[in-house]
Amino acid sequence: MAMKKKSPPAKAKSAGKRPSVASKGIKRVYFFGNGKAEGSADMKDLLGGKGANLADMTKVPLPVPPGFTITTETCGEYNDAKGKLPKGLMEEVRFNVAKIEKASAKTFGDVNNPLLVACRSGAKVSMPGMMDTVLNIGLNDAVVEGLSKLTGNPRFAYDSYRRLINMFGDTVKGCDHEHFEHELSAVKKARGVALDTDLNADDLKEVVARYKKVYEHHVGEAFPQDGFTQLEESIEAVFRSWMGDRAIKYRELNDIRGLRGTAVNVQSMVYGNMGDDSATGVAFTRNPSTGENIFYGEFLVNAQGEDVVAGIRTPLDCNTEMGKWSQKSWKELLAVKKTLEARYKDVQDFEFTIERGKLYMLQTRNGKRTAAAAVRIAVDFTKEKLIDETTAILRVDPASLDQLLHPTFDPKAIKNVLTRGLPASPGAAVGAIAFTAEEAERRVGAGEKIILVRRETEPADIGGMHVSEGILTSTGGMTSHAAVVARGMGTPCVAGAGGVQIDVKNRLVKIGDKTFGPTHIISINGGTGEVMEGSVPTVEASLTGPFAQIMKWADKYRTLKVRTNGDTPTDAKVARNFGAEGIGLCRTEHMFFDPERIHNMREMILATTIEARKAALAKLLPYQREDFLGIFKEMKGLPVTIRLLDPPLHEFLPHNEKDQAELAKSLNLSPEQVKNRVAQLHEANPMLGHRGDRLAITYPEILEMQVRAIIEAAIEAKKAGIKVLPEIMIPLVGTKKELDFLKKYTVETAEAVFKEKKTRVEYLYGTMIEVPRAAITAGEIAETAEFFSFGTNDLTQMTFGYSRDDVNSFLPDYLKHEILERDPFQSLDITGVGQLVKWAVDNGRKTNKDLKCGICGEHGGDPASVEFCHNVGLNYVSCSPYRVPIARLAAAHAAIKSSGKGKGYSLK
């Protein structure tokens, strides 16, 4: 834990004539001090998080040095006016400085009894990318002498002054810290000392003189001696920093939007560096890494916060050391922990200073924590009756649960990040580089651990993907084949890492100026998108007791069901363990890639007569039946939606001449015949091509084989005493007539099997809604479909007209310019695609009020999309097995929020 910078002060010339309360109408400054405050804890929008909490802590009352907060709205005004402070603001500031003077019995600019202040930023959400603090405002050549006499500590006074010149010069005037540092080093060298603390008062006087020269040289004017000039310029610098590159980038990266600006907090200085009875520190009320209920803090005796940042001294652990230093302070801090948690009902991260034995609170805020800690803290706070169950549920960010579900890299490990791609499927993976899926399978078979590195993957790679530790692609977006399949498998994946150049022919990967071959080990972090050199150590994830407890509570409140997208009995099992309540999408194409099966599949595709095609399909039937039976058994009576074949047929055929020749030989065909068929199946845009229900319309015998396999497996399961609820789902439908056409074949096949087996099973016939036309004509389609499942991957692709696989070539620009707020393939575009979903649900249910509606696109595991699904009345969401807990918690959040209980609660 790093300690942060600390509190405030001020200087010279007197406050002058007492100004009256500022400009008419708008109140821009809120005072706090001596147990009273104009602001309150619920004014974070206007006063920022820090300002609102300083006001609130003052009222508790906790010992907060007096001060005031300038509103975030004022920052907005300043930036709107292209960098002009609103008229009347400085009068209001002077009026409030006078109030601090009264509360502290010190005077700003008074040589004999000076008030010094700090000036700090404070947005609504904590933003480490914002401006640094300016401390000791109010010091000048005369006041420093007064302070020296008053404290009897000239060293302290001159040290404070040189810090002000440095901080003001650097932060406010942009004169690089290095220039000051250079002078400090020169004085240390001249005195023959190594540490700043070894410099005496005279040395520091010399440092001050040198700093002033540096300032003058770089800024082009003398260091301002007027305290109000210092203060005004510091306030402006905070406002300016809101639009600085660092802050803009931070907001962009952290998805912080819609804020007007930062507040400014001006507060009377207190000093932790006044001697051995003074100290400064930071603490969390509980361990933010594990959630354990123990005080978690560090402090430094006779120090200011920056000393820690500068790494001069190592802070001490409060638990073991503070009692030895001062029993009184330690007891006070433990009492503060209790008070803060009782007041804010959450773990607090706070800063404190002890000045000559007296404790001061400088700030408090909700402490950032890991997912494991969030879960434990939420459960413990509920048990301690500080919060109720619904609040506990809302305290845990559903997306953060990912951290608990996959192994992670050891945070203490040293890593060399080579490049970054999209964090497509979370988790940590380490392995040697393989260039093809086939190579991956072979080498894993021989006992190696592999990272599959491809430009992009395709369905034929599934075997190699399955055995690999992780997948790295150089193109493709968050719903590219690699990303979707990897998430489904729970395999870590970094997709679209443009910095990775792959030379499959020579089996080389170039990243930056380094080149790697098949024997090299790399590590990928699917949660951050990092690609690292060598083997970075990992730690196993464990599902702890509090995690189970939170999920139990979530299930109590949610109304949306959560299913999983799964293609194998293993997927089904994993998902069941995570609480899945059915399978929402079984993509049958993944079942055809086993070496034996792919051969039969290819035979089917290359067949020139219907008889030959049926013969090949007959060979595939037993495999399909086995797979379905395995899934039915695992799902133990829960609904299973099976989607009939979707991808275009060319994806199942080999594309290189050697493999084509081998295939031709094994099927007694000429290589030309195979080549011609591949060419015939080639499509310029296969995503809009001969796929989905279009295949079944051309080749109904494929549908017949799959329906037969489903019904036979269901009957077999029934005979074994297992309840089954198959749902036969037709992909990519655009018109009711397509669905009617295929229903005839489906019903005929099912009836034929019932007759043969002399028994019946219930099944549903439904469709995916993936084509905008299907959504628009949902009322008609619901006359035939018994359920809808929204395939929002394709629906997004077709609504926007963005190719799922190529979107990453331009999406980053769209996000950068905020043309799109987020990747619509990750988080459902509510205003566009979402309206098609809503329209289809509403109109489908006008036709059939009991129409079962779910979603099976990737959005089913995205918390914001899950909330939308709840609000439009879907029955379930379906997502990859590893996202099931996330969706369960997100569904609970949605239910609690829509019932009004979680009103106003935000995780940010």
Q: Which residues are known catalytic residues? A: 481, 856
* Nearest-approach distance from CB 787 to Mg ion, in angstroms: 16
Which one of 425, 564, 568, 793 is in contact with ligand PEP (CB under 6 A)?
793
Q: Are 19 and 233 in contact (CB under 8 A)?
A: no
> Which CB, 732 or 782, lies closer to Mg ion?
732
* Nearest-approach distance from CB 860 to ligand PEP, in angstroms: 9
CA distance 424 to 476: 10
CA distance 612 to 623: 18
> Which CB, 441 or 794, lies closer to ligand PEP?
794
Residue nearest to Mg ion (CB): 794
* Nearest-approach distance from CB 364 to ligand PEP, in angstroms: 45
Binding to Mg ion (CB under 5 A): which residues in 766-795? 770, 791, 794
Which one of 64, 131, 172, 856 is in contact with ligand PEP (CB under 6 A)?
856
If one asks whether residue 791 binds ligand PEP (CB under 6 A), the answer comes out as: yes
Residues in contact with ligand PEP, total (CB under 6 A)?
A: 11
Name residue, tokens 């990897």. Answer: 486
> Which CB, 716 or 858, lies closer to Mg ion?
858
* Nearest-approach distance from CB 695 to Mg ion, in angstroms: 13
Residues in contact with Mg ion, total (CB under 5 A)?
A: 3
Q: Which does 138 bind (CB under 5 to 8 A by kind): ligand PEP, Mg ion, none?
A: none
Which one of 587, 708, 845, 888 is in contact with ligand PEP (CB under 6 A)?
587
Binding to ligand PEP (CB under 6 A): which residues in 547-586? 585
- Count of C-beta atoms within a 10 Å radius of residue 200: 13
Q: Which does 587 bind (CB under 5 to 8 A by kind): Mg ion, ligand PEP, none?
A: ligand PEP
Instruction: Report angle CA 422, 426, 431 to the nearest 5 degrees.
Output: 90
Which one of 792, 808, 843, 865 is in contact with ligand PEP (CB under 6 A)?
792
> Which CB, 118 or 649, lies closer to ligand PEP?
649
CA distance 106 to 67: 13
DSSP per residue, 141-158 = HHHHHHHHHHHT-HHHHH
**Token couple for 862:** 């995205």
Binding to ligand PEP (CB under 6 A): which residues in 751-780? 770
Give the CA radius of gyration of the chain.
33
Which one of 49, 857, 885, 902 is in contact with ligand PEP (CB under 6 A)?
857
In the sheet that 514-516 helps form, which strands lie side by side, from edge to edge? 500-503, 508-511, 514-516
Per-residue x/- track, 463-492, ligand PEP (CB under 6 A): ---------------------x--------
> Which CB, 646 or 823, lies closer to ligand PEP?
646
* Nearest-approach distance from CB 794 to Mg ion, in angstroms: 4
CA distance 500 to 126: 35
Q: What is the DSSP letter of 401?
A: G
Q: Are 773 and 802 in contact (CB under 8 A)?
A: no
> Interacting stretch for ligand PEP, rule CB under 6 A, among 101-109, 190-198, 719-727, 792-800?
792-800
* Nearest-approach distance from CB 878 to Mg ion, in angstroms: 13
**Using CB atoms within 10 A of its CB, is residue 215 exposed (0-12), middle (13-18) or buried (19+)?**
buried
CA distance 589 to 880: 16
* Nearest-approach distance from CB 886 to ligand PEP, in angstroms: 17
Q: Which does 792 bind (CB under 5 to 8 A by kind): ligand PEP, Mg ion, none?
A: ligand PEP
Beta-sheet strands, E only, within 182-334: 263-268, 279-284, 296-301, 316-317
> Which CB, 467 or 771, lies closer to Mg ion?
771
Q: Are 873 and 363 in contact (CB under 8 A)?
A: no
Using DSSP's 3-state secondary structure scheme, residue 496 falls into coil
> Which CB, 369 or 859, lies closer to ligand PEP?
859
Q: Are 674 and 660 in contact (CB under 8 A)?
A: yes
Phi-psi bin for 35: left (phi > 0), alpha (psi -120 to 50), beta? left
Q: Which does 86 bind (CB under 5 to 8 A by kind): ligand PEP, Mg ion, none?
A: none
Q: What is the DSSP letter of 645?
A: P
Q: Are 183 and 209 in contact (CB under 8 A)?
A: no
> Which CB, 307 or 794, lies closer to Mg ion?
794
CA distance 762 to 73: 62
Per-residue x/- track, 334-363, ligand PEP (CB under 6 A): ------------------------------
DSSP per residue, 715-777 = HHHHHTT---EEEEEE-S--SHHHHHHHHHHHHHHHHHHHHHHT-----EEEEEE-SHHHHHT
Applying CB under 6 A, the residues found at the interface with ligand PEP are: 484, 585, 587, 646, 770, 791-794, 856-857
Applying CB under 5 A, the residues found at the interface with Mg ion are: 770, 791, 794
